[in-house]
Amino acid sequence: MTSQPPTRILVISDTHGANLTTSNLEPVDLIIHCGDLTQESKLDEYKQAISLLRSLSAPLKLVIAGNHDFTLDTSVFAQKLIEAKLQPPQKDKAVKQAYGDFGEVRALLEDQREAGIIFLDEGTHDIELGDGCSLRVYASPYTPSKTGGWGYCYDPVEGHDWKIGKEIDIAITHGPPKGVLDYTYNKQRAGCSDLFGAIAKARPLMHCFGHIHESWGAKKVTWRGTECSELPSHFTDIDNDNSELIENLVTLRPGKFDSAAEKKLKKAKLRELVQPGYRHTAPTLQRGMQTLFVNAAIEGAETEMQQLPWLVELDLPRN
């Protein structure tokens, strides 16, 4: 009996209304966009994001919102208009032209199903892939915010109810879990501890996200034991000795403490990755014991080049 080929998944996030600078990406089985389709949640940015998704070759494209996509979060959109002392779209032509009416962007995204684009609300979704695989996905656009004013945000003190079941194959969230690929430029952990706890209990094959641009990368995590601890955290529940950092910006970009030889090697490695236009990984994962974490934030800092999409090969359940 011949073994079935793995499912090829292109993961992107935080495109913020821009095109990918890479071109001629090869066809894949599935594309996942982890949110922040836009920078200012404007209609033309959503249209650009849809154009980007339609240009990528895959029969199915799963999309969630991010904190920048606030017009999809109607209550936040309405509150922002009040704070800016603006009339709602029905009464202000300029607002309607720039941002659309309440619900217009959602309808625009939901009209893209014929192109294989599926907009996911928070919750569990069963997906049938064209390669004969079935997929159970948990999706959520929510991220913690102390200041508010963004779409799909919650008070980090109050937390969020992450209903991620153990049967999940892939978790798609906009923000990272605390302790994994969530360092900001000032070396602070920006991820959600409640999300980490939910992932540690569910142990999906893959958890992909974005939001923290500077923590782009992938890590194969091996869990300690067969069950998570009572108060799970990255300190107590990850077996670091048997986990593997696949790639991050530190392994690709020359640092000030690198030797000349190290800088040369990193530059050569980055040139090799730019040519195909993605970073590839095909980890062997033991279900229930290992999880691949992917931060697929495309947008880098203003002075830096766009970060690469991730092409992940996973062995998924087949019908």
In this prediction, residue 303 has a pLDDT band, given cuts at 50, 70 and 90, of low
| All domains in the chain, ordered by first residue | 7-314 (3.60.21.10)
User: What is the b/e burial string over 62-77, where b = at least 16 CB atoms within 10 angstroms of the residue's CB?
Assistant: bbbbbbbbbbbbeebb
Q: pLDDT digits over 239-293, tens only?
A: 999 999 999 999 988 888 888 999 899 888 888 888 888 999 999 999 999 999 9
Residue 2 has pLDDT above 60, yes or no: no
Task: Provide, rounded to the nearest whole percent, the portion of the chain with pLDDT above 90.
Answer: 78
Beta bridge partners of 248: 217
Q: Which helix (H) or strand (E) holds 49?
A: helix 43-55
Q: Determine the average pLDDT of the residues in 42-65.
A: 97
Mean of the per-residue pLDDT values of the chain: 93
Beta bridge partners of 314: 7
User: pTM score, two decimals?
Assistant: 0.95
* CA dist list (Å): 4 to 1, 266, 319: 9, 35, 12
Which phi and psi (to 5°) does residue 133 adopt?
-90, 145
Contact 178, 196 (CB under 8 A): yes
The alpha carbon torsion through 224, 171, 29, 14 (nearest 10 deg) reads -120
Q: pLDDT digits over 129-146, tens only?
A: 876 788 999 999 999 998
Q: pLDDT digits over 142-201, tens only?
A: 999 988 789 999 999 999 999 999 999 999 999 999 999 999 999 999 999 999 999 999
- Which among 167, 166, 148, 165 has a CA at the least distance from the CA of 156? 148
Contact 50, 226 (CB under 8 A): no
Burial label for 277, CB within 10 Å (0-12, 13-18, 19+), is middle
Q: Report the pLDDT value the prediction gives residue 21, as an integer from 0 to 100.
A: 87
In this prediction, residue 92 has a pLDDT band, given cuts at 50, 70 and 90, of confident
Distance CA 8, CA 222 (A): 22
Q: Report the pLDDT value the prediction gives residue 1, as an integer from 0 to 100.
A: 40
Contact 136, 127 (CB under 8 A): yes
Distance CA 66, CA 176 (A): 12
- 3-class secondary structure per residue, 196-265: HHHHHHHCCCEEEECCCHHHCEEEEEEECCCCCCCCCCHHHHECHHHCEEEEEHHHHCCCCCCCHHHHHH
Q: Determine the average pLDDT of the residues in 60-77.
A: 97
Q: pLDDT digits over 97-122, tens only?
A: 999 999 999 999 999 999 999 999 99
The alpha carbon dihedral of 242, 247, 250, 252 has a sign of positive
- 3-class secondary structure per residue, 54-103: HHCCCCCEEECCCCCCHHHCHHHHHHHHHHCCCCCCCCCHHHHHHHCCCC
Q: Determine the average pLDDT of the residues in 217-241.
A: 95
In this prediction, residue 319 has a pLDDT band, given cuts at 50, 70 and 90, of low
